[in-house]
Amino acid sequence: MAPFTQSSLSKLSTGFLKNAFFLLPIMALTLPAYGESFTAKRTGQGFTDLTQDFTSSLSNPALLTKFRNGNDVFFSLNIGLMASDKYNVIDTAETISDNLAVLADDINGMSLQIIQSPAQMKSYNDDLNQQVDNIIADLESIDGKIVKIRNGLNLQIIIPSQSFSFGLFTNQYGRIGGIMDYNENDEKILDDAILSGDLDLQDLESATTAVGYSVAEAGFMAGYSVLTDANYDLSIGAKLKYQRIDVYYNRVQISEFEDDDFEITNDENITDKSGTNIDLGLYINWGVKRQWHAALVTNNIIKQTVHHTEQNLIFTLKSSTSFGLSYQNNWVSVATDIDLTDREQFATIAPSKYAGMGAEFRFYEHIQFRLGYRTDLNDVDGDIYTAGIGISPWEVFAIDIAAFTGDSDTIGAALQLNLKI
């Protein structure tokens, strides 16, 4: 069974995750998902974009009709990463791995030591016992602690038109992680190894369980202006896409944390499912200067379920609906996006439901500053505060950068490159 990583977009994204994963040998995941890819514009403005403009059509295809005269072809590339390590798990894990290797060398090399007195033997054993105490203390400090990684990557090409606007896109997003399970028997195994002078790290029973998912999709999107009235405009849009969902599972002993065989993306660790799906969008703006904007978007009309039978792990990508509202004028945009339904999830894990709000301030037509805030209405994920900047000289090339921080030492960033022809 070939993994989704065979596409060029997925190869880049999975490689990004894999490199991060080798840096995080002990990871954990709170599994309710953030069900779409990062874009820097929406990230900087509190993860709001359902009512922005046609450059955010990946989130709401009805926005394909919201463009300025003269826009012909639009290209956009986005990449984003989010990570959280409240309990300093990453550095502690690296320390444990290094200290275990040193301890194994010291214990297994005892027979080569020249011991000339009982005092020297006691000093040597005291040092070994102290090493064990330090390792056990570190294992206990990160037992069950949480580290999270999310990623997003997408590319869109949009051709706007007065009558019918359309675009092509490819999109990938996912979460990956694991949880450390410290087994108290390991302390006795290490203590006994000091007495016997023989330590096999494979005997240790502490292990990491790694779990994650990735959704990769590609397709066609279109928008159509349904009504144009003196007081309001109404547009609809749709995305038809081919999806592949991969669910990862792997469990390894502590001795394999730095082993090259510890790859969550191996074929034997993946269960996948492919199929077609549909997103629908509705967009309306009104007011004397069309300053008010509202949107309603439903993603993944067709429910998809992936079952990792060996571990009885079930991931569900289900239909989700969000509402957006904003006020916009020449120099400021204030927006809010609210999930009306829960997002996709692993079975038995509580899903997330987000609400975000943000503002964009425009200066000299070609510079934008963004601020925002997002919370989880279900109290699963922590609150996040965002900021971003956009630069668009001559309205041909644009670069957007966003960063955010939040609860549980969450940090992240997103980059967006745009080109108009």
Residue 329 belongs to domain with CATH number = 2.40.160.40
| pLDDT score of 10 | 42
Q: How confident is the model at residue 28 (pLDDT cuts 50, 70, 90)?
A: very low
Count of other CB atoms within 10 angstroms of residue 332: 11
Q: How confident is the model at residue 66 (pLDDT cuts 50, 70, 90)?
A: confident
pLDDT tens for residues 340-380?
Answer: 988 766 644 667 789 999 999 998 878 999 999 999 898 87
| pLDDT score of 5 | 39
Q: How confident is the model at residue 60 (pLDDT cuts 50, 70, 90)?
A: very high
pLDDT over 50 (residue 75)? yes
pLDDT over 70 (residue 34)? no
Max Cα–Cα distance, the chain, nearest Å: 99
Distances (CA, A) of 382 to 220, 353, 370: 34, 11, 20
What is the pTM for the complete model shown?
0.80
Distances (CA, A) of 19 to 22, 25, 42, 80, 167: 5, 11, 26, 15, 32
Instruction: Classify the C-alpha dihedral 96-100-101-106 as positive or negative.
Output: positive
Average pLDDT of the segment spanning 393-416: 89
- Pick from 238, 170, 178: nearest CA to 30: 178
| pLDDT score of 12 | 38
% the chain with pLDDT above 70 = 84
Higher per-residue pLDDT: 145 or 398: 398
Give all strands (DSSP E) within 254-377, no chain letters.
270-286, 292-299, 304-308, 313-317, 320-328, 332-339, 345-346, 354-363, 367-376
Distance CA 263, CA 269 (A): 8
Of 154-158, 161-165, 244-248, 375-379, the range with the highest mean pLDDT is: 154-158
Q: ∠ at Cα 274 (271, 275), nearest 5°?
A: 155
Q: What is the mean pLDDT of the chain?
A: 82
| pLDDT score of 243 | 95
Distance CA 83, CA 155 (A): 22
pLDDT tens for residues 100-142?
Answer: 989 999 998 877 776 767 888 888 889 999 999 999 999 999 8
- Pick from 146, 136, 71: nearest CA to 99: 136
Higher per-residue pLDDT: 28 or 146: 146
Average pLDDT of the segment spanning 70-75: 78
| pLDDT score of 124 | 83
- Pick from 81, 82, 84, 80: nearest CA to 40: 80
pLDDT over 60 (residue 30)? no
Average pLDDT of the segment spanning 155-179: 85
pLDDT tens for residues 275-329?
Answer: 999 999 999 999 988 999 999 999 999 998 888 777 777 888 888 999 999 999 9
State the residue range of the domain holding 142: 4-420
Count of domains for the chain = 1
Higher per-residue pLDDT: 376 or 336: 336
pLDDT over 60 (residue 2)? no
pLDDT over 50 (residue 26)? no
Q: How confident is the model at residue 3 (pLDDT cuts 50, 70, 90)?
A: very low
Q: Is 208 helix (H, G, I), strand (E, B) or coil?
A: strand
β-bridge mates for residue 293, sequence order:
285, 326
pLDDT tens for residues 224-270?
Answer: 999 888 889 999 999 999 999 988 888 777 767 664 445 556 667 78
Distance CA 232, CA 294 (A): 11
